[in-house]
Amino acid sequence: MASTWHYGLVARWWAEFNRDWHSDEIEYFKHVIERSGQPALDVGCGTGRILVPCVEAGMEVHGSDASEEMIRLCRARLSSRSLDTDLTVASTHELDLYQRSYRTIISCGVFGVGTTREEDLEGLRRIRKHLTPGGSLIFDVYLPGENSKDWLTWSKGHRPTLPSRWSNPDTRKASDGDELVLQTRTIAFDPMEQCSIREIRVKQYRDQELVNCHQYRVRLNAYFKNEIQLMLKTAGYSRVEMRGGLGDSEPTAYKDYYLMVFANI
């Protein structure tokens, strides 16, 4: 099972506040499923940020996630709208949905999170086994770029002091009136292995009194464009295309660090 931080108060944060985050991204994946075909599978669906709007729109979209709590919260959100779909607790590299197959498989914000590089490659293989002939996998990836301060450590004299300071508190009021405060920091970074260890902390306040605090760590793998292409070819995908962000153009150097990857079998 992948090691994620989507449990306890962190899972609650995602359920409470990440519903309509990046609405343009939600619409993008809805259009992708419409074009590529159904049924579809949302790998790493979390609490249903993309999945629920798709099901609400009448699409046949199933979901999987490594966190049982995220699946439970996703199911509750569907139920609150009198909706239902198939949801499975499974890491991507352990995906085995009893011979089910899909025309489209999407994965947003999941690739390289909480896994080893070997598990990421196995995850691509597992997804391929669940695609129908001609089916498509669409997932996103952030390239190491200018917005990643960690990569400045490649330069002489820029080695960071780790762990880093906690980020500025992100304080929000939950549906029951409690205040949740989220912070993150980097624990470790290895540019040679292209991975970092991030830590997340969520504090829960009730009537201005601290009542709970959950803290988790997760490994994040970084990948470059050609490396991803090679992994997909190794995993058995016949055609791989990459686009810059949510547009239709090929990625441009020094401009596009957020890529959308399309892979077909």
Burial class (CB in 10 A: 0-12, 13-18, 19+), 215: middle
Q: What angle do CA 90, 200, 205 make, to 5 degrees?
A: 110
Same domain, 19 and 90: yes
In a domain, 76, yes or no: yes
> Which neighbouring-strand residues pair with 218?
198
> Which neighbouring-strand residues pair with 176?
none
pLDDT in tens, 199-255: 999 999 999 999 999 999 999 999 999 999 999 999 999 999 999 999 889 999 888
Into how many domains does the chain fold?
2
**Taking Cα atoms as reference points, which of 116, 88, 249 lies closest to residue 194?**
116
In a domain, 251, yes or no: yes
| Residue ranges of the chain whose pLDDT lies below 50 | 1
Same domain, 35 and 114: yes
224-255 as b/e: b if 16+ CB within 10 A: eeeebbebbeebebeebebbbbbeeeebeeee
In angstroms and rounded to an integer, the radius of gyration of the C-alpha atoms of the chain is: 19
Q: Residue 144 phi/psi, 5° resolution? A: -60, 125
Give the pLDDT of residue 20.
65
In a domain, 2, yes or no: no
Tell me the pTM: 0.94
Same domain, 76 and 167: no
C-alpha distances out from residue 222 to 52, 72, 179, Å? 29, 29, 33
Read off the tokens for 80: 């609150």
Contact of 186 with 196, CB cutoff 8 Å: yes
In a domain, 3, yes or no: no
Rounded CA-CA distance 119/1 in Å is 10
Read off the tokens for 170: 């992100």
Give the pLDDT of residue 144.
81
In a domain, 107, yes or no: yes
In a domain, 78, yes or no: yes
Burial class (CB in 10 A: 0-12, 13-18, 19+), 101: middle
Same domain, 231 and 213: no
Give the pLDDT of residue 254.
81
Same domain, 211 and 137: no
Domain that holds residue 212: 149-220
In sequence order, the 6+-apart residues with CB closer than 8 A to the CB of 231 are: 120, 121, 124, 223
* CATH code, domain carrying 240: 3.40.50.150
Give the pLDDT of residue 78.
97
Same domain, 168 and 61: no
